[in-house]
């Protein structure tokens, strides 16, 4: 078998959060006004990138390619 190393940075496409103090590194960050805005942004990004959203902490989602 070949070398199958996968880095998280290859799979995480974006971070969406309602916390303006949150500053993750390695992916684009989208700041949402509230929970509805968070879900709307996630829906559009997931549809356009053929990806899925995962809530890592309340108010913060990561968009991942699977």
Q: Where are the domains of the chain?
A: 8-64
Res. 4 pLDDT band, cuts 50 70 90:
very low
Secondary structure (3-state) at 38:
helix
Res. 5 pLDDT band, cuts 50 70 90:
low
Count Cα neighbours of 55 within 13 Å in the Cβ-side half-sphere: 8
User: For the CA atoms of the chain, what is the radius of gyration?
Assistant: 13
**How much is the mean pLDDT over the chain?**
88
pTM of the model: 0.81
């Amino acid at each position: 078998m070949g070398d199958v190393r996968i880095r998280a940075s290859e799979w995480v496409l974006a971070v969406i959060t309602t916390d303006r103090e949150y500053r993750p590194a390695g992916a684009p960050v989208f700041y949402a006004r509230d929970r509805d805005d968070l879900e709307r942004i996630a829906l559009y990004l997931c549809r356009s990138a053929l990806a899925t959203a995962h809530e890592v902490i309340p108010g913060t989602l990561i968009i991942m390619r699977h």
